[in-house]
Chain A
């Protein structure tokens, strides 16, 4: 593992007109490392992802890849550099076959000139093998429609696709948010496999349990700024949850809710 981070942000600020969304963000991710970005809704997670993947450009501050300054003007620039973003539901087409969906935009062809044909067998074989290598053995027919897969399998397929096309940095946007426990485990296993293969993974989530299962490094985002930055094992689950809730301790919040509930029930009793 080289010590130079694959992707690094240095003092990045992003504002939309008068609205400041990101303040002074600095983070780095190395090969074979999972960086978990934790944050409540509205903490600026999506803006951060979009800046990392080239949708937005930083207002100030630098982005570095392998220690070199880079600038992404379009999402394509980031993709060409090996940054792949997998969205919660995106990247898959419910009514397309697994093989076709896997190669969207980069279809393998046979034949020549205007008679180039989409090579279905090859596409199916590669797609199925790529997913099975991630331990999703239930997928064995590339002609099946994506719509028939579970949410976890779709995420895994999207991650396998990113890897197949040479991604070095994998940005996962809430991959487990809409999944059940078992499905989420699937995805976490795939994340671990990606890490084992030497990818730098940025894992965005608000589920602390999932983050702790795979993360090496953690950054908590509050109101567009990094409120805490720590390594695996440095903080307990309760501490992280408290941080995400904005410094207010979760037990205080619970006490508040209890008080509210009691107030309501006594009102109900009076009525």
Chain B
């Protein structure tokens, strides 16, 4: 590899070769001029830390894929035990067959696009896609056709990232751009009650075609149930929601593991705790407001918002993609707010808007990605006003300050004496 790197130096394919090289080895070059911060955490390490925080979620999601599939066919087990019903080879096999191809397509297509752009533009391939590539399969429904994912990844990487100048220049989070593209392009594959559990869609098609030997099953998400005011029909307990034994996008369900991943990211100082905390507060606040509306009797049980408004405010964090979005998406250092005070606003509004979209628009039960994309767009504006207000504050301080001239050598004192 080292030889290859030297051989291709300065040639057209150099960026591609270099990319493989840095992927496999620590770079042997450092910046030679100018002052720069010397620290061990380069972009590659940052990205790898996030991936480490995501691996448990990925593994869980592979088991959950199978668990949801078999439970939907055979009914949920009465006396649920993790070893017996969840961590089984059958479940894992479904995960391997369904989740790994999503991951492979996401990485394969995404990195291919990155390589092509690096070669055309003659810059280095950046590691930015490493995280996007693992996030993408975790936020799509399990039965997403692979070619759709490929189209969306091309769109997300080109339009979401490369046209702005590549990693670090993008306005929108590429993973969410991909999700949004899928959502608007192929809505029948991205929402409804047939897409969240592997096989549900095929089954319903078979039945439509006249098959009678199979039962229909649906994998409605909790938010889906609530949006239709059918909360009472749900059989999921709070611990199911917390540990993630519920249907949903591939990797969004295990709140516990996401929480651990989030703590890991906070303690390794990769992700901002300000954004996470304020987003949690924002969603709790919005949830509380809605709960209060129900309590005051402003809406009746027949209202179409009743189910979601009556949902305990803290449970919003346990279901859907809110926790996943807050921990892994909102904290994207490129697209988020940069200033500390800005991060509080940015995070708060993400939580606030997510719950609001969730409740008010039954067509978008997953408001999280829209909320984050929206705040991505506003992040620079928030930063601008934070900086401006800081300048103002300091100018005021300057105005009010009494400037005492330094009299180190007695000259100023003399001057004063003269003018007086």
Chain B associates with chain A: no
